[in-house]
Amino acid sequence: MKPTIRARIPGDKLHHAVPRAYHEALRKATRPEAQYSLLLFAHAPRDVVPSPPVRKALRRLGEPAPDGVVAVGTVFTEEALKLLDEAGARVVAYRKSRWTDESARQRQLKPGGIGPAPQGKGELHPPALPPCLDDAALHSCELVLAHACAYTDAAAPDEEPGGVPAEADPMAPADADDLLAGYANTNYFVAGLDAPLHPGDRNPALAGFLAGQGARSLAVLTAYNPRSQMLSLEENARRQGALRAALEAAGLRCVEAEGRARDGSARPVEPLLAVFDAPPLLLQRLMEEFGQNAVLLAAADAPPRLWLRPTFMRELAREEYASS
């Protein structure tokens, strides 16, 4: 995307020139009575801004406005941030990930998959990939639990040098690793279960709860907000009803559940369904049909695990490779 350059723009008009996801960060980083030069770079959720367009935009701008430059974009490489810092620019970024020009270039070269990463002396080794499921796992809840991965700690966000992080637009898709951290930082409350489930943590009340239900395993899933795209309450309720109907049509029992942020943050509570002894093949089909990235699986003799949709696992691997 070619950068948009506004040589002079009042601070109180900046929000008219940039996407809504950046409005709050702009308000914090600027003064309404000031005059700025605006550089609007690539700002779609999957974009990365390297140094060449930044260098070119600064050259085209020439003399900045009296109160300096405001640079807006999804995420900037370290080289791009250095140029903006030298120009005294205020940086408003959508994400906090660390990138370099080289890792951004490699991502462009490999848009459809993950290739090997160089490890010195010409040797090539594939990057560590998230867990995947083999054919046998699709027919056994126990094997699903063995193959799924526990994420006991949500990774802390990176510090972005010289940048002002933007508050993410709730309507915009987040990074796969941010989504995974969100799933890991959730307590899953199931109706009738005394203590919430959490990925990687054994639940002492689970064995008795499952025994009382005459079940061996539990899967927690939802139809809300497919692929983390926020929908209206009415549409989400319709989708949840369709999911419940699909489970009942398969002869499965389910109870109400909900997910709440483990750290006590004000993230909206998400309605869930906890289904007993669901066949893994059915869960996989429902994840695809209802656009869900993850299902929480739990059994009496193992800590709960997140089972990730294969396309979501590939996206995690792609981000890990691109940022390495």
For residue 59, what pLDDT is reported?
92
For residue 318, what pLDDT is reported?
55
Burial bucket for residue 95 (CB in 10 Å: 0-12, 13-18, 19+): buried
For residue 130, what pLDDT is reported?
33
45 and 88 belong to one structural domain: yes
Confidence of residue 134 (pLDDT cuts 50, 70, 90): very low
98 and 142 belong to one structural domain: no
Give the tokens for residue 320. Answer: 């890990």
164 and 286 belong to one structural domain: yes
Containing domain of residue 249, as a range? 136-322
Residue 66 lies in a domain: yes
Residue 22 lies in a domain: yes
Over 60: is that where the pLDDT of 271 sits? yes
- Closest C-alpha among 129, 133, 93, 90 to residue 113: 129
Residue 114 lies in a domain: no
pTM above 0.75, yes or no: no
Residue 129 lies in a domain: no
Residue 127 lies in a domain: no
Confidence of residue 191 (pLDDT cuts 50, 70, 90): very high
Pick from 102, 126, 148: which residue ends a domain? 102
- Selection from 176-185, 246-255, 257-266 with the highest mean pLDDT: 246-255
For residue 178, what pLDDT is reported?
73
95 and 141 belong to one structural domain: no
Which residue has better confidence, 133 or 288?
A: 288
User: Whole-number mean pLDDT of the chain?
Assistant: 77
Over 50: is that where the pLDDT of 132 sits? no
pLDDT in tens, 71-126: 999 899 999 999 999 999 999 998 877 889 888 777 654 433 323 333 333 333 33
For residue 148, what pLDDT is reported?
43
For residue 107, what pLDDT is reported?
62
For residue 230, what pLDDT is reported?
83
Q: Are 177 and 316 in contact (CB under 8 A)?
A: yes
Residue 74 lies in a domain: yes
DSSP string, 106-159: HHHH-TTS--PEE-STT-EEPPP------TGGGG-HHHHHHHSB---SPPPPPP
Confidence of residue 11 (pLDDT cuts 50, 70, 90): very high
pLDDT in tens, 47-66: 889 999 999 999 999 999 99
CA distance 307 to 178: 16
Residue 279 lies in a domain: yes
State the Cα angle at 49 between 175 and 107, rounded to 5°.
60
Residue 264 lies in a domain: yes
CA distance 182 to 261: 8
For residue 227, what pLDDT is reported?
81
How many independent structural domains does the chain possess? 2
CA distance 138 to 115: 26
Would you mind telling me the total number of residues written for the chain in this entry? 324
Pick from 83, 102, 121: which residue ends a domain? 102
Confidence of residue 43 (pLDDT cuts 50, 70, 90): confident
Kind and range of the H or E element at 294?
Answer: strand 294-299
Over 50: is that where the pLDDT of 190 sits? yes
Which residue has better confidence, 300 or 237?
A: 237
Q: Alpha helices of the chain — where are they, by DSSP H?
A: 23-29, 51-61, 78-86, 101-109, 141-147, 176-184, 206-213, 233-249, 280-289, 310-322
> How many of the other CB atoms lie within 10 Å of CB of 119?
11
